[in-house]
């Protein structure tokens, strides 16, 4: 969600598979959503407004439906509002308003949306879902996702590239969790055994997030050591002149 800017702080090169999926999926949805984005612009709606509404929809879908165990309908609502991520960016490009503010708003509200989704899972397992272990796993997914994002942002803020493709980054966390939740919700429509998909997905996300966090910490430690060594060599060279 939010308007894209030329630099989004993405130093790591994505895998070919991820790059192709992102390229073709975004190209398709851009063509589909461009007329709708143009319609909103003509009505005086700003990209920031779409970003805020999209996030509000995701939060509502997660915190209203998931705690009630309505995983199918909650995922449907969330998925509909997730498309605002493409609509607001499309609007920003049409208006020529790509900005640092848009990127900041985008990243900030993404964290809010992520927290709501895993918070919704945690509320379900803390309540009617009655599973303390899965409640804890959901909370770990929420917290680890925030920390994984922070490690990259913090590393880049001190001048490091943080050049690593983590095992489970934000896109993977959301796709695995939402797809599993949506299918798990079909249990209420009479599909047997499918409710176990969500617990499996949460464990996968939790373990993957932990691995990703370790990958990023190790990468930042190595890059920091290399940068410090290069700075010391530079100072030594200057002193010798």
Number of H helices, E strands in the chain: 8, 0
Is 30 annotated in some ligand binding site? no
Q: Is 233 annotated among the ligand-binding residues?
A: no
For the record, the structure tokens of 57 come out as 């929809």
Instruction: Say whether 110 is catalytic.
Output: yes
- 131 has binding-site annotation: no
Residue 88 annotated as part of some ligand binding site: yes
Dmax (CA) for the chain in angstroms is 79
C-alpha–C-alpha distance, residues 98 and 51, integer Å: 13
Is 48 annotated in a binding site? The answer is: yes
Could you tell me the two tokens for 94? 């049409």
CA distance 95 to 4: 12
Distance CA 232, CA 216 (A): 24
Q: DSSP string of 104-161?
A: HHHHHHHHHHHHHHHHHHHHHHHTTT--HHHHHHHHHHHHHHHHHHHHHHHHHHTT--
User: Is 107 one of the annotated binding-site residues?
Assistant: no
- Output the CA–CA distances (angstroms, integers) from residue 145 to 13, 109, 171, 196, 240, in the order listed: 20, 14, 11, 22, 47
Binding residue per annotation — 51? yes
The pair of three-digit structure tokens given for residue 3, joined into one six-digit string: 């308007």
Q: How far apart are CA 167 and CA 165, in angstroms?
A: 7
**106 known ligand binder:** yes
Q: 110, 130, 131, 233: which is the annotated catalytic residue?
A: 110
Task: Please indicate if the annotation marks 93 as binding a ligand.
Answer: yes
89 assigned ligand-binding residue: yes
Known binding residue 164? Answer is: no
Annotated binding site: 48-51, 85, 88-89, 93, 99, 106, 110
Annotated binding site for a CDP-1,2-diacyl-sn-glycerol: 48-51, 89, 93, 99
Annotated binding site for Mg(2+): 85, 88, 106, 110
The catalytic residue positions are: 110
């Amino acid at each position: 969600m939010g308007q894209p800017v030329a630099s989004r702080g993405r130093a790591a090169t994505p895998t070919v598979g991820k790059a192709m999926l992102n390229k073709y999926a975004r190209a398709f949805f851009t063509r589909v959503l461009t007329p709708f984005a143009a319609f909103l612009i003509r009505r005086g709606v700003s990209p920031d407004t779409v970003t805020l509404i999209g996030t509000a929809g995701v939060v509502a879908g997660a915190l209203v439906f998931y705690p009630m165990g309505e995983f199918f309908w909650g995922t449907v609502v969330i998925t509909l509002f997730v498309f605002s991520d493409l609509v607001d960016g499309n609007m920003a490009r049409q208006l020529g308003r790509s900005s640092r503010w848009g990127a900041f708003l985008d990243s900030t509200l993404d964290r809010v949306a992520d927290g709501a989704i895993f918070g919704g899972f945690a509320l379900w397992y803390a309540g009617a879902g009655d599973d303390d272990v899965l409640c804890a796993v959901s909370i770990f997914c929420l917290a680890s996702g925030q920390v994984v994002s922070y490690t990259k942002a913090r590393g880049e803020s001190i001048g490091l590239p943080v050049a690593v493709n983590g095992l489970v980054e934000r896109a993977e966390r959301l796709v695995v969790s939402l797809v599993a939740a949506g299918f798990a919700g079909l249990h209420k429509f009479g599909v047997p055994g499918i409710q176990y998909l969500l617990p499996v997905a949460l464990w996968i996300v939790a373990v993957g997030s932990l691995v990703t966090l370790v990958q990023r910490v190790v990468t930042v430690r190595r890059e920091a050591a290399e940068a410090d060594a290069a700075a010391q060599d530079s100072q030594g060279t200057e002193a010798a002149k």
